[in-house]
Amino acid sequence: MPSPELAERITNDLLEGNLQDIRDVLTDVHPAEIAGILTAFPPEDYQRILEALDAETASEVILELDPEHREEILGELDADKIAEIVEEMESDDAADLIGELPEQTATSVLSKMDPEGLRDVEPLLKYPEDSAGGIMQTELVKVGSNFTVRDAINWIRLIADEIPDFYQIFVTDESDRLLGDISLQTLILATPGSKVTDIMEPLEVTVTPYMDQEDVAKIFQKFDILSVPVVDDDGALLGRITADDILDVIAEEASEDIMQMAGVGDTLHPIYTPTRTRIKLRIPWLLMTLVGELFIAFIIVYAFEPTLQKVAILAAFMPAIMATGGNVGLQTTTIVIRSLGMGTINIKQIL
């Protein structure tokens, strides 16, 4: 059913108070499409529509929204509903969402979460949003160094429903220090009586919780890995970062680089940024460009005034030459900034 028809049917159901029909009609609709439909409704309808969804679907819908719409929608929900939604999210997504809430609301939501969910999320809130700790998730599969392959497989069967997609099993000692990892394929094919320490591989790379997320993304690109463990200074396992989180980081960092290149910072939104804020962000750089071009034009006219008086047609080429110079400068800054962001060149090479 096309989105306009869906929206019309949901509107009628809201007028009739028929939340069950909303639940039925949205059962097979992808959360991304539901998110698009949700933003078409007035704020007072947000909670009623989300109440028609199960908590898992509602959590996926919330994550599909852009930050501005998410803030608007969460502002219409009570703490109980937000807590219910957050508990269905992976720990890293839950921590990010709580971090976006006003302090008072966040405190209220945390107080209403069940102890198990709170135990996974609360440790992540202390890390900066753009750090490895800010994007890691605490849900992972780890086994003790005294486990056999049979023990590890039985343990995975017990906890599989609680862990999102996993590709590796981490091996830790009695102090929870990370010793190595085992791929799922290796574990399944190993002899059941073998010790996990006999089949584990040494760690290719680890990251610390305060490492910048952009540096973590470069590690994923360099080593071509699906996930990376996060450890503290003592080598204790804290969590893991998965490739899907890094895709979001790469897109976010690329947007930030482009905005910085344009001289407007990373806070400018094409629709939701207030006009006054847009002016404050853009005017200084536009004025600097204008002053620079006027200065160059003055120098050219002053230096070549006799020539221009003799051959007046040359003046017609001045705008084209200055525009070409601007394009060359834009191309150069784009290449340099993107290369710096990708790590293909560094400041020393430029200097």
Of 66, 137, 133, 55, give the one whose Cα is nearest residue 100: 66
Arithmetic mean of pLDDT, 71-81: 89
Is 92's pLDDT higher than 80?
yes
Is 243's pLDDT higher than 70?
yes
Arithmetic mean of pLDDT, 126-149: 95
Give 141's pLDDT tier (boundaries 50, 70, 90).
very high
DSSP class of 195: B
Contact indicator for 20, 14 with CB cutoff of 8 Å: no
pLDDT value for 31: 92
pLDDT value for 303: 82
| Helix, strand or coil, per DSSP, at residue 217 | helix
Contact indicator for 212, 256 with CB cutoff of 8 Å: no
Name the least confident of 4-8, 46-50, 225-229: 4-8
Contact indicator for 216, 127 with CB cutoff of 8 Å: no
Considering only residues 145 and 263, tell me which one the structure prediction assigns the higher pLDDT: 145
Is 274's pLDDT higher than 80?
no
Arithmetic mean of pLDDT, 224-228: 91
Q: Which tens digit of pLDDT belongs to each residue from 17-40?
A: 899 999 999 988 999 999 988 888
Is 255's pLDDT higher than 90?
no
Residue 115 corresponds to which tokens in the numbers above? 């102890």
pLDDT value for 350: 61
| Helix, strand or coil, per DSSP, at residue 156 | helix
Give 199's pLDDT tier (boundaries 50, 70, 90).
very high
Is 131's pLDDT higher than 80?
yes
Q: Where are the alpha helices (DSSP H) in the chain?
A: 3-16, 19-25, 31-38, 46-51, 55-64, 67-74, 79-86, 91-100, 103-112, 115-121, 132-135, 149-159, 184-189, 196-199, 213-223, 243-261, 275-310, 318-342, 347-350
Give 94's pLDDT tier (boundaries 50, 70, 90).
very high
pLDDT value for 1: 46
pLDDT value for 125: 94
Is 167's pLDDT higher than 80?
yes
Considering only residues 336 and 177, tell me which one the structure prediction assigns the higher pLDDT: 177
Is 244's pLDDT higher than 60?
yes
C-alpha span between 33 and 10 (Å, rounded): 13
Give 290's pLDDT tier (boundaries 50, 70, 90).
confident
Give 3's pLDDT tier (boundaries 50, 70, 90).
low
Mean pLDDT of the chain, nearest integer: 86
According to DSSP, the β-strands at 227-231 and 178-183 are unpaired
Arithmetic mean of pLDDT, 319-326: 78
Domains and CATH numbers, the chain: 3-130 (1.25.60.10), 142-242 (3.10.580.10)
Is 269's pLDDT higher than 80?
no
Q: Which tens digit of pLDDT belongs to each residue from 99-114?
A: 999 999 999 999 999 9
Arithmetic mean of pLDDT, 85-98: 93
Is 232's pLDDT higher than 70?
yes
Give 329's pLDDT tier (boundaries 50, 70, 90).
confident
